[in-house]
Structure 1
Amino acid sequence: MASHAFEPHTGEVQLRLDAGNPAELFAEATRALAELLGTPADQAAGEWQRVAVTGRDFEALLVAWVNELVARTEIDHLLYRDVAINELTPTSLDACIRGMPFAETRTAVKAATMHGLHVTSDPRGTHATLILDV
C-alpha cells in the first residue's frame, strides 16, 4: 500500500513517499502534491491529458514529474490527483493525468528540488524523500 507524509522543514515542505514499486511511487507523489496544494471542488474531473517527462536518472525524473505537475496546476488552475502510469523507465515517464477545479487552496508550491532528494528500494518497496519549495 502506498503512503506519504509531510514533515516540518523551514521554508519548505519535506515529503516522504512510500510505495510498493516505482510506478506507485510516482502515483503517490501525484496524490501527495494534490493534497498539499488544495481541496478539489465537488465537480466531475476533466479530460485525461497525456504527459511525458524525462530526467538524467530516476531521482531527477521524480523531481521533473513533480515540477511538471506544479507547472500544470499553475497554468491550468486545476488540481491533478488522478494519474495512470503508461510507461516508466529509469529516465522517462509517460502518464495520463486528470485535473479538477480547486474548492480551496492550501499551500502554494513553487518547485520540487534536488536538495535533500533521497530514493531507495528494498524488499518492502520504493521510498523517497523530496523537498518542495513553498
Structure 2
Amino acid sequence: MKLCQVLKEMVEKKNWEGVKWAIVQLSPAAIVECFREMETKYQALVFRFLSKRNALQVFELLERIEQIELVRALEDPEIVKLIEAMESDERVNLLEELPAKVVKRILQELSPEAQASVNLFLVIQKTVPKG
C-alpha cells in the first residue's frame, strides 16, 4: 500500500501518532503529492503536524490555488504563523488572492512588523504602473 494512502487512512481514523510517523518518512515534495490525493480538510490536519521548516517547504511547493485552499482550511493561529514565515512579496501575493474578510482577520493577527511590510507592498503595487 502506498504511503500516501496509509497517511490518508491514518488521518481518517484519527491515528495522530501514525500521522506523525508517516510525515517524517516523507520529503516535502512527497507530502505535496499526498496532499493532492486528499481532501483539503485532511491536508489541514496533516499540515498541523509538520515542523515549521517542513510546513514552509510544503507550502511553497503547492500551487497558488492549493495554497489558498489550505489557508482557508486552517484556523487563524495557523494562518498567522505560516504567513509571518513567508517573504514579504509572497505574503502580499497570497493575501491579494484571499477574500477581503479573511485578509482583514489575518492582518489583525499579524505582528506589527509583518503588517507594516504588507501595507508597504500594497502601497507600492498600487502606485507603480504595471506593464
TM-score of the alignment, normalized to the shorter chain, above 0.5: no
> Which of 1 and 2 has higher RCO (CA within 8 Å, sep 6+)?
1
TM-score range, shorter chain: under 0.3
Q: TM-score, normalised by structure 2?
A: 0.27
Q: TM-score, normalised by structure 1?
A: 0.27
More helix per residue = 2
More strand per residue = 1
